[in-house]
Amino acid sequence: MAPLQVHVKHTGKTLDVNLDTSLPPAVFKDAVYQVTGVPPERMKVMIKGGVLKDDTDWKKVAPKAGQTFMVIGAAGELPKPPEKPIVFLEDMDESEIAEALSLPVGLKNLGNTCYMNATVQAMRAIPELQTALSTSPHLDVLPRALRDLYSNMSRTTEGYIPTTFLTVLRQAVPQFGEIDRSGKNGMLGGYAQQGIDAEECWTQLANGLKEVPGIDATGNTVAGGRRFVDQFMMAEMHRELKCDEAPEEPSTVTIEKVLKIECNISATTNYMHTGIKDAMNSQLDKNSPSLGRQAVYSQTSRLSRLPSYLTVHMVRFAWRRDIGKKAKIMRKVKFASEFDALEVVTDELKSKLTPVSSRLKSIEKERAERRKVRKRTKVAQEASSSSRPAEENTDVEMAPSEVPGDLEEESVYRARELQELEALADADLKSDYGCSVTGLYDLVAIVTHKGADADAGHYIGFVKKSVFHAKSGDGPAFDEDDEDWYKFDDDKVSVFPREKLGTIDGGGEDASAYVLLYRSKPLA
């Protein structure tokens, strides 16, 4: 349908505007803004029976050519022409389009490869990994293929076909190239999908990256130094084994490097942190040298090193002897969007982390309160300015750099906080670049499993939006209150509201959190 020529009346002036009823009202409001200077957020367009809203159905309004709409709202400065000429999508190459659009791209499913797609997307939540891959002059085949995959994904807006990476992965890990001869997936001779593929894929991919050189704080490759995985993804577990039946028997202590910590799920597990504690406190039977027989031992495990990126494996698949196969544990287990790891570390590490951890918790509350104050002030100023007549509103707009109330610029607070936290941070931890110096974590990526069968189902990746909008001097600042996520269902990418995270903590056949990636909270 062709656009309608309508009129808008504002401050005694009647202006012509085009109205396309096939487009949402927000587009019409923007057109009104172009001629009146009234920003859409403080604009009221009067229609029969009320005010035009962004979700108003044009069919109910039934506008006609020549109709006049009354517009209420204080005008600001008219929009300025763009500094650079407008370039339409059809005139861009794919690289320019990818930069223009913020929605990340998905990966095409090449036949039971959802486990790989979800894992690759989740690992994108580690920007330091991409830095290490792109700066290292010498890489093995699998890391090089992952580097090229991430590079190609950043230069397109279409769902990318990861054929080369899949081929290299199957060569590096032959089990991912096994053929399904059962025919249960409806494609006899196709590639098999095993129930624990996503967790295995994460582990195998991390192992395949172990020779990638580490990086320093500036992002440069550290020649002859620690490897990237050891720096940023590897934790150290302190395990102590004691004989319950012979307390006088000396305990055995071992230190083990681990890529993930496990969350055991039992009939009483309701929360992730209790499942992690259960996995770290266990009992086993073994031969006692002092008793000369089998005895019960208690094993207590605690983390003696926390990496910047901590992986949690929700143990959702277990072998059932009664049916002779793996089964999925579908119990609902709530996971945390913020994780305090101080409860699962050694006493020595806890003493190093506690000062900075306690102060950072207080600082985060102060930051949240400042954001609330700024938002309340902004709303109050907009309401005040919109209530004034247009002629009285020419010089009352707050400059973008002006700070509401008695608050200083946020950068002033952040610099002061960083200086305070740096003084509290343990020197040994600060020298171990790539470890967590706070012990506090934010959840940044999730891999879920959907389905009741451990030998089938579907994997989906979720990555926090803020990961793709890291702080930089270019472009608009990312809203720190935006806690939404991106959902990567193979090549289908969508925004996943934070409020829906509770729907993927299990309890049925729908998507259940399986692998979770936590990022250490930074000092700045």
By the 8 A CB rule, do 443 and 455 touch? no
Sign of CA dihedral 415, 418, 423, 428: negative
- The yes-or-no answer on residue 458 being catalytic is yes
Q: Which of 420, 278, 277 is nearest to 340 (CA)?
A: 277
In the set 10, 114, 201, 313, the catalytic residue is: 114
Q: How far apart are CA 87 and CA 454, in angstroms?
A: 49
Q: Which of 483, 458, 481, 509 is nearest to 331 (CA)?
A: 509
Residue 318, SS3 per DSSP: strand
In the set 7, 10, 238, 458, the catalytic residue is: 458
Q: How far apart are CA 459 and CA 512, in angstroms?
A: 9
| Angle between helix 163-172 and 197-208 (nearest 10) | 80
Q: Which two tokens stand for residue 231?
A: 């720096």
Q: Are strands 317-320 and 309-314 parallel, antiparallel or unpaired?
A: unpaired
By the 8 A CB rule, do 460 and 488 touch? yes
Contacts of 254 (CB under 8 A, 6+ apart): 238, 239, 241
Q: Which of 418, 430, 424 is nearest to 523 (CA)?
A: 418
- The yes-or-no answer on residue 114 being catalytic is yes
Q: How far apart are CA 142 and CA 405, in angstroms?
A: 54
For residue 66, what are the CA distances in angstroms to 8, 35, 56, 108, 257? 10, 17, 20, 49, 74
For residue 168, what are the CA distances in angstroms to 146, 160, 162, 163, 459? 9, 16, 10, 9, 21
Residue 128, SS3 per DSSP: helix
By the 8 A CB rule, do 507 and 501 touch? no
Q: Over 13-40, what HEC string results?
A: EEEEEEECCCCCHHHHHHHHHHHHCCCH
* φ, ψ (nearest 5 deg) of residue 293: -160, 175
As annotated, the active-site residues are 114, 458
